[in-house]
Structure 1
């Protein structure tokens, strides 16, 4: 038995976080029913998360790292889009000039 879970690890971590966010007010089965897995599956994921270094805070650490990387990624993307916008403006100007030129040719 056993084998690899058909779920993505991020999915599992998110579902465990949902259960933990309930603060013990909801059972594994109740939360599991809401997210479409069995109670034992969710319980198993929670045990696995507890065995991770950091006591299962891996998702929170990944989120914090993602927040740190996001501004740099957005600045890079913003720069790329600004350069592309300048290129497109140049292309539009070339097309405007060509249209004017050919309009003159058609009249003559």
Structure 2
């Protein structure tokens, strides 16, 4: 998915970096430079955190809701596949019983 050079940061690190921006009075770019991370990454985390306190603007899904939606869509897809298999099996056994 990502390149082999993509760094992954823990949620705790992201929260601490966002808190540092809020508490230090420094710009996102300055804090990112101090931490040795991309200012665009920190800016994205900061924007998501701003939208998340009350968990988003009207019409936006929270991260928990997005995860649940992904899970439900996956389950739905699996159930649709199961239904198709069962339909085919039913048709097969109906034909076999007519012989």
Q: What TM-score comes out, normalization by structure 1 length?
A: 0.41
Compare the two structures and name the one with the higher helix fraction: 1
Structure number with larger C-alpha Rg = 1
